[in-house]
Amino acid sequence: MVRHARIALRTALTLALLLGASSAFASAPAAGLYEAYSPVTMRPVGLLSSAQARSLPRWLAVSELGDGAVRVVFEPEQRVVWTLRYGAAGRLLDKVVNVDGKRFATSTFGYTAGRLVSKRVDGPLGQSTYRYTSQGATVTRTLDKREPVDPSKAGTQAGLVYTQHHSSKGIKATFRDARGVVRVDSYTRSGVLMGTTFGEGAARLSLVYDRDRDGRLQSIVSKLPGAGSWTYQPKVRRTGVTGVHLSMLRFPVERHEVLYLLGEPVTARQYTDGVGDVDRDDSYSEGCWLNEISSLSYRASGALHSASQGCICGFCVLETPSAAAGDVVMEADVHWTRGPWLRINGQLTITEEHRVITPTGPRPAGLLRVGDTVLSALGDPVEITSIASLGDAVERRGLNLRTRSGTFAAGGLLLESETARPCHLQPR
């Protein structure tokens, strides 16, 4: 009896702590660099050093604002900024989300007897109210009411059920939609993420966060069916990614998690269409994956928006491209390709199909010859003195810009700003 009472008490204390009823978090989070925000403790968790932070595709920079409020900047892009306000016993009262300097959404949290019972979100899809209910060691969040501005944009959370199960060993958080389990997150009792699985059954994808005894992140290992294990490295592509893997990913998943799972995409396109719109599109196909998911699109906040079948070609340079003063960059591409690549005048590395601006108009780099005249970044005539073929044996991470003027500069020369176009390749 005593043993059972102790177990029940320990479970109750764990549940109270993680629902905000404890005074263990009596103040707002301290300033510093953090690995992530934990939906279990509703606080930034996982302190990082500057070197650790720079090795991740996303981290949080937290600064104190006073009166229980903190500012959370999503690094390194700094496009998403949260303002979190904490009250008694360190309970989160509200969260204001800004994207690109504009108000995106506001969340307000309600408590009864120190326990979280509701969350109201006012955002681009209107107003939503979520209810939290407790049964033993299980907490379930469901969408109670939604009043969308546009009923056709009811969003992806309408049928999503979120459940936390607390035990002495930790917390498991499960997202389910009408099709089944979307993801399962495993946390320590202090809210630090230890692992995530996406999908269910033999086809599920998984992430494991390897930590030392103090909970500090050491590495992130992903496992894909048919592709084995892989340890995340920044700006490195992973082999063996297929359309089946991409099809297992549904909301809620964020771009940095996809990078942990799949590595760098073949192409990455960023748009400037405004807050709340689809902002980035990543393609993982090297050629054409006919009838397979090959691209993932994300909102400006980094959340997965949609998956699609597509095939695009890239026209790239290796050097950092730049737009002329006063020009507007409409889109930025990152494209992994074997080219073929050329080296012009020892200063510009470019794919053969990318067009270089000449006094008589743009010409594909592969058609240029030594002695031809092209234009410099400032528009002056420049003679081509050397062209070296780098072939297609090595895959390189090329760059491209789409500008309002239709041109950009790289490697000292002026180039045509090209958009993606359909590939006419055979399926792999």
Q: What angle do CA 309, 313, 315 make, to 5 degrees?
A: 150
Q: Which domains does the chain have, with CATH numbers?
A: 2-191 (no CATH), 222-308 (3.30.1450), 329-416 (2.170.16.10)
**Per-residue pLDDT tens over the stretch 73-121:** 999 989 999 999 999 889 999 999 998 888 989 999 999 998 999 999 9
Q: What was the pLDDT predicted at 428? A: 29
Identify which of 271, 270, 245, 272 has the alpha carbon closest to the alpha carbon of residue 260. 245
Rounded Cα distance, 88 and 28, in Å: 10
**Per-residue pLDDT tens over the stretch 271-281:** 765 545 668 88
Residues in the chain with pLDDT values less than 70: 1-26, 125, 148-158, 272-278, 287-291, 310-314, 419-428
What is the model's pTM? 0.72
- Reduced to 3 states, what is the DSSP secondary structure of residue 319? coil
Q: What was the pLDDT predicted at 198? A: 96
Rounded Cα distance, 99 and 51, in Å: 26
Return the number of other C-beta atoms located less than 10 Å from residue 323's C-beta: 18
Task: Let me know if 200 is exposed, middle or buried by CB neighbors in 10 A (0-12, 13-18, 19+).
Answer: middle
Q: What was the pLDDT predicted at 425? A: 40
